[in-house]
Every structure is written in C-alpha cells, then in structure tokens.
Structure 1
C-alpha cells in the first residue's frame, strides 16, 4: 500500500470511526439514561441492560400521548364527561401514573387539578399559559415547592352543555426527561471528545510509525555508509514509496561497495604493476649497464667484441621498448580507452596471410608453422585487424618462449559453428603445470616452473592478459589447455552474428 493511499484511508477513518463510535456510544447512553428498568443486574465486568428498556420508555411516552389525545377528544365531542367527578378523577390518576397532570377550569374557576400539579400559585401559572400564544403548547415553570421543575402545558378551550366556558390544561411532567438529559448531553459531549481524540491519537500513532520507522532505518543505513560499513544490506521489505527508496538505496550501497572494491583492486594492481615493472625493467637495464661498462673499461678490445656488446645493448633496448609498449597497451585496454576499428573480414584469409608472415619472421625461422582450417571459405567475422593480429602475435611469442624441443612446431587451426569461429594455436613446447593454467591470463603472471626458454628471453607477463582483454572486447572468450612436456593450446572465439558499429564500438 502506498503512503498516499495510506494517508487517504487514515483521513477517511478519522471521519468514519468517530461517527460509528459516537452512534454506538449514543445507543449505550440512551439505554442507560432512558431505559425503564435501567439495569437488571451486574455481570463480572459491568452492567447488563434490559433488552426492552428503551422500548418501555418510549411505550410509556406513547401511552401518555394517546391518553391525552383521548381527553382532548372528549373535551371537543362530549365535554359533559369532564364535569363528571368520577371520570375526571380516574383520568387524573391514570395520567399521574404516566407522569402527567390534568387541570379543568370552568367559568374561570379550577374545578379539578391532579394532585401532582395542584399547588399554590397554580392559577398564576395557568394565567401565563393563557397570556402567551393561546391554545398552543408551551413550557411552563412550576414554582410550587412540592413539585418544582418544568411541565409541557397544552390548553384546550371548550363549552359545557349549559354554555359555560371551560378550559382543559394537559400538563406533561418533563422532570424525568430533563433530569436524564442533564446527564446525557454532557456525557455525550465528553464521549465525543474522547472518541475523536483517541481515534486521531491512534491513527496518528500508527500512520506516523509506518512513516518514521523506515525513515529511521534509512538513517541508520546512511550512518553506516558514512562510517564506511558497506557490508550491511538494507532490507525494507515494503511495497510502498519507502520500499522503492530502500531498493534504490540498496542498489547504491552495492554499487558503492563494488566501486570501492574496484578502487582498492586497482590500487593493489597499480602497486603490483609498479613492482613488476621495476623488476622487469631492471634486468635489461642491468645488461645495458654491464655492456656500457665493458666498452668503457675497454674489455671489448676487439672489433668483434665491441659489435657483440653493441648488439646486446640494442637487444636490451628493444626488450625495454616492447615491455613499455605492452604496458601502455594493457593500461588503455584496462581503462577501456583503446579505440577499436571493427570491420567485416574473412578470418580464413586473414589467418592464412598471418601464417605466411610468421614464416618470414626471423624469430620463427626455426619453427615449423602450419595452418589448418575446417571452416568454409570465406568465413566472415567482424573484428579489428590490427588488434586481432596483436592477439595472434602475443600467443605465438608466448609459445616461442616455452619451446624446448629440437623440432619446434606451431599450428594455427580454424573451426566454425553456426554462431562463432574458433581459432586455436598449438605448440609442442614444455607445457604449463595444471595448477598454473588458470592464472596464465592474469597480468604479470609467468609459469616459471615450466619455463625452458628457447630464445633466452622472458616475456613481460602482459602478453596473454592483453589477449584476453582484446578478445573479450570482440565479444569472444579465450582459454588455455596444456599438458606438461607435450605442449600448450591457446584458443579463442569470435562471434559470427551481425554487428552494428558506431565510432569503433560494438553495439
């Protein structure tokens, strides 16, 4: 339930609940104050009311009204009955039992008055009824010390049989009703205030708690993040706006944690890279310094020795240049800042051309190079020619470092499936230990225990890491398989599906 809907329902409840509770309270108070029997007994927890208490009260009121209407009918239709003392006395006693009174005036003289209204000053009270709005019901204050209180007075004028004037006064005792109302109305007002206050208090408490609790949860989560504690998940488990905020907050925490982890990893990699660069550059620099010192100390006292020392200096400088170039290339790949120039190309023709180029490379002069393809010609993929050539060269140079057989061989294989092209480069070198195999594509990793360098030079430790970065940028995967003493196979895939290129990036 959304917060907006929850607030709307709370507003509706603030109106409907007090109305409902007020009606129930009014019913209960009405039974308490206007019930005929009030209570029949007591239970363990409170009063138990008569089921017919309220109906008995109103039945009594109706019976009184019916009797009064009958008396008025007699005054209009048969006024002589009002001169009959027996009839008048019986009627007066009946009305008295119904908390009412009867007064008959004949020619200005009170001929009968019920005992409950017969008191000193009755004539004055009746005169006030005569003076104010004749013939209509009104309130009459009874000032007699015996009665006191209020009556509802109704006057009916009639004529006796002897043409004498008569006046009938029907008085309804309001003391019981007013007495109950004097308690009923304050109790009803107090109950209404309590109901409204309690309803608003409870609804405000529950609604505010449903809003404040998630706010406190978010606050605690923010404080933990501020203190760098990112391992505590935020589980709101709500389906409202706070739930959406909690999900966004949790996603932010996860991303921040991942970002900090990457930053720490980058920092660790940077330290490792500096350490490896220092170590890798120190070896050729030491060789160059040794050669320069040999020339300065005239150890190379013949032209042949001097040419050898200069050649060694040139070789070491080339090694340093290659290592620095690979370092720059890997850094650009790692930071996603190296642009790719993708184009559609025939990978069969490309591999054939590359194998022929390798055969003319002096570094592979002693290596038997073979290209085998089981794929149809042409086999189109979308790739960056220069980057793909760098991949193949890095794999070939890595194989060259570990060739220790008298007949070194390097085989390029190409296979095709409906979705991708598989390129595999096999050698018959020393192979790589099974424990070291999963790490060969990590930066600066060298399988030292398996090294038997035919060329006498080690790699930079970035060659296969660069291979993985370039192939993954093409949308492919790379893997290594090896058997110690038999050889190593490096394979990678290139997707065949259609690509859309914009600014050198694959869509």
Structure 2
C-alpha cells in the first residue's frame, strides 16, 4: 500500500477507532448509571399522592362496611395494593393491632417516626430521611381505627435529582478519562506503525548512501513493500548497480588503454628500429654497392608502409572507439552483395594461397542495411587473419551465408589449428595476438578482429569465434525488410 494511502487510512482510523470505542464505553457506563439510578425515575411524589388517596378510599369503605367479613376483605385488599407499591401497612383499633405486614425494621422505623408525631392532626404524613409515614384515622362502632403506612425507600424529588446529578457527574468524568486514554492509545499505536513504515526504509537508504560514500558497491538493499519507498529503494539499488558497472567498465577501459599504448609502442618500435638501422647503414656506407643500397631502400620503404598501415588501423580503431567514424548505410540484397564481396576478396588475395569456397542459401529478397565499404573491411580482416596464421602454403576458407529467422548468418571457417578455448573470448580485444605472434608484429597488428567487432556492433549485429576444425567466425545481421 502506498504511503499516502497509509497516512490517509491512519488519519481515518484515528477518528473511527476512538469514536467506536468511546461509544462502547459510553454505553457500558450509561447502563451502569441506569442501574445505579434505578428507581429514581419513579415519581415518588405521585406515589405518595396515590397511596394517600388509596388509604382514604379504603378507610372510608372500612368505616361503612356492614359486616366483619366485609371489613376484613377491604383491609386485606388495601394492604395488598400498598405492598405492591413497596409500602408496608398496619391497622389498629384503639391502639390494638388488627392487621399488619410490618417487618421488624419497618416496625422499628414506625415507632421512631410515628411516636413524636402521634398527636398531629389526622390524617398526616411525615418523612424522615428516606422513609415516609402516612397516618389515617377513622371512627367505627365507637372504636378509633388507624391506618399506618410506611414507605422505607421514599425519596422526594429534590433528593432524587441531587442523586442523579452526582451519578451523572461521575458518569461524565469516567467517560472523559476513558476517552482520553482511548485516543492516546489509538494515536500511539497508529503513529508507531507509521513511524516504523517510514523510518525503516529511510535507514535502508541511509545505509546504502554510507556504503557508497565509503566506496563499497557490493551490497544489496531488500525492501519488499510496493510503496513509494519501494520504488525509491529499487531505483537507488539500480543506480548502485549501474554505478558499479560504470566503474568496472571504466577500469576495463583503462586496462585496455594501457594495453593499447603498450601494443602501439611495441608495434611501432620494431619497424622504427629496423628503419633506424638501415638508415644508419646507408649513412655509414655499410651499403657500399648500388645493389645493396637499393635493397636497404626497399626494406626502409617496406617498413614505412607497414607503419603506415598500422597508423591507418589505429586511426580507424580510434574513430570506431569514440563513435566518430561515419557510416553510410544502404539496403542491399544479401544474395547479390555477398556474391560480389566474395569475388572481390578472391581478387584482392590472389596469389596469397587463399582457397575460398562460397555458398549462399538466402533468398533473393533477404535485405540487410549495411555500410558496404565498412562491412567489406570486416570480412577482409577475417580472411586476412586466417591467411596470416595458416599452417600450410595454402589456406582453405569456407564462406557460408544463410537465413535464420529474422537474421542473415555469415560463417567463415578456416582449416587452421584454431585457438585454445581460454583465448577465444580475447580474440576481439585490441592488440591481443597471443604470445607466439607478439614476437612478430609484422605478421599482425592485433587490431583486425577488434575493428571487425566494432563495425558489426555498429550494424546492430553480433560476432563470435568458435573452434570447428579450425577457427570459425560467425556474424549475424538483422534482416530489415522481407519481401
């Protein structure tokens, strides 16, 4: 997940999670509040009025009842209804108990409340703490009957709201504290997760930068998340890889430059030494006959021509290496071009012992884009290389052209002894000729195959060397148009 989405989601969760948890906690605390304040919602004032009316009504019925059975039925019904409302009652006749459902606690409470108030006008009601006593008297048959009702859990409205306010205050305080704790914990957990997701990749990048600063490029940063940091770390690691490759390429280039300078020095020193020797011989009259002088002149001229060829090849190699050699590409039919090329090569190397066989299995409409002159130089260098290292008086070279998919494949094989396998990858290195030929720079400059490789690559082709009963050079060129 992207960092932007994570931060957005984290901000949303910072709101949703505390809100949900606060709602849950609020509900739990509120239910506890309801449980604590249960009963306080009952209107005790109305309960008192209802009880007083009920006592007056039933007392009137008892006063005018005709029989003892009617009296007992009314008083029993009164006590049941009062008790259903949580009110205990007692009926006396001239201070003698007729009926009572008082408990010991209620009876004690009645004595405490009713004793000091027994002389109050009838009827009357007295509250003491959370207890309410209602007294109602009526005469019957020359007796004085008295109904005493006690509600031990009576609370007037003012006390009820004081209790509610206290409970509500506790409820609000608890909810506020728990809400703060929930918000702090939620923000802490989510912020810690975001912090980890940002700091860890930053530490990785910092580690990589430190390694590069210290010159170490042989390390790897592994980060598996596909987010902005994943892209940044992948690009950073690719930069490290390319930097390492660039440095390695530069080191290889410097090594090649050293070999090039050493090769040039070696290959120029030999003919220069010969020229210097023959010039000194002429100067010191060592060549004291016209025939000898002519031979010295011919040798000097030959050595000068060899140096001229070497300088030309060095100049060509330098332009290829720097990319300053112009190419003039043309679309040519491979059948016609290679047929004419082989004919020219045979003419150019006539009398050198070259025996060349040619086959071309390409169709007449297999077309490649090449610079004809530069491509001729490639094949000339390859054939020349085969002739220089021939073992016999003559050299058999097979020149085969074929079509493979979207490529034209040219294979040039000679009948020489080939080269050791460990040397094959170095054949296209400039000035590489092996120890045996290095002692004879007039035989080879060591630039022919290197020049051939650069020209082929400029044509977007490939060139490789193999041993096939001799040395085989294979070149592949892309077909750009198929008829």
TM norm structure 2: 0.73
- Structure 1 residue 187, shift from structure 2 partner: 2.6
Query: Is 1:479 the equivalent of 2:458?
Result: no
Task: Work out the CA distance in 2 between the residues paired with 1:436 and 1:470.
Answer: 21
Equivalence map 1:417-496=2 (5 Å): 417-429=404-416, 431-449=418-436, 457-482=442-467, 487-496=470-479
Task: Work out the CA distance in 1 between the residues paired with 2:481 and 2:371.
Answer: 15
Choose which of 160, 166, 172 in structure 2 pairs with 1:185: 172
| Partner of residue 13, structure 1 | 13
Q: Deviations over 1:55-92 (max 9, x none)?
A: 5x465345x33x654555678x88955998x989x699
| Partner of residue 365, structure 1 | 351
Question: Alpha carbons of 1:183 and 1:276: their partners in 2 closer, same or farther (altered >3 Å)?
Answer: same
Choose which of 361, 367, 371 in structure 2 pairs with 1:375: 361
Question: Alpha carbons of 1:230 and 1:326: their partners in 2 closer, same or farther (altered >3 Å)?
Answer: same
- Structure 1 residue 110, shift from structure 2 partner: 9.8
Task: Work out the CA distance in 2 between the residues paired with 1:450 and 1:355.
Answer: 27
Task: Work out the CA distance in 2 between the residues paired with 1:194 and 1:206.
Answer: 18
- Structure 1 residue 273, shift from structure 2 partner: 1.4
Q: Deviations over 1:367-391 (max 9, x none)?
A: 2443422435745322110111100
TM norm structure 1: 0.70
- Structure 1 residue 298, shift from structure 2 partner: 1.4
- Structure 1 residue 31, shift from structure 2 partner: 5.9
Give the greater-gyration-radius structure (CA).
Answer: 2
Q: Is the 8 A contact 2:406 2:479 kept in 1?
A: yes
Task: Work out the CA distance in 2 between the residues paired with 1:407 and 1:488.
Answer: 15
Question: Alpha carbons of 1:110 and 1:320: their partners in 2 closer, same or farther (altered >3 Å)?
Answer: farther
Residues 411-420 or 1-10, more deviating: 411-420
| Partner of residue 272, structure 1 | 259
| Partner of residue 222, structure 1 | 209
| Partner of residue 100, structure 1 | none
Equivalence map 1:335-414=2 (5 Å): 335-361=322-348, 364-375=350-361, 378=364, 380-414=367-401
Query: Is 1:281 the equivalent of 2:268?
Result: yes
| Partner of residue 139, structure 1 | none
Task: Work out the CA distance in 2 between the residues paired with 1:285 and 1:109.
Answer: 153
| Partner of residue 185, structure 2 | 198
Equivalence map 1:300-339=2 (5 Å): 300-339=287-326
Task: Work out the CA distance in 1 between the residues paired with 2:417 and 2:227.
Answer: 63
**Secondary structure at the counterpart of residue 436 of structure 1:** helix
For CA contacts below 8 A with separation 6 or more, give which structure has more relative contact order.
2
| Partner of residue 60, structure 1 | 39
- Structure 1 residue 112, shift from structure 2 partner: 1.9
Task: Work out the CA distance in 2 between the residues paired with 1:489 and 1:117.
Answer: 118
**Secondary structure at the counterpart of residue 473 of structure 2:** strand
| Partner of residue 87, structure 2 | 94
Q: Is the 8 A contact 1:351 1:371 kept in 2?
A: no
Q: Is the 8 A contact 2:367 2:480 kept in 1?
A: no
Residues 424-433 or 275-284, more deviating: 424-433
Write 1 or 2 for the structure with the bigger share of helix.
Answer: 2
Q: Is the 8 A contact 2:335 2:360 kept in 1?
A: no
Q: Deviations over 1:158-177 (max 9, x none)?
A: xxxxxxxxxxxxx6534544
Q: Is the 8 A contact 1:29 1:188 kept in 2?
A: yes
**Secondary structure at the counterpart of residue 303 of structure 2:** helix
Question: Alpha carbons of 1:185 and 1:387: their partners in 2 closer, same or farther (altered >3 Å)?
Answer: same
- Structure 1 residue 271, shift from structure 2 partner: 1.5
**Secondary structure at the counterpart of residue 481 of structure 2:** coil
Q: Which runs of 5+ in 1 are unaligned?
A: 35-53, 98-107, 120-150, 154-170, 500-507
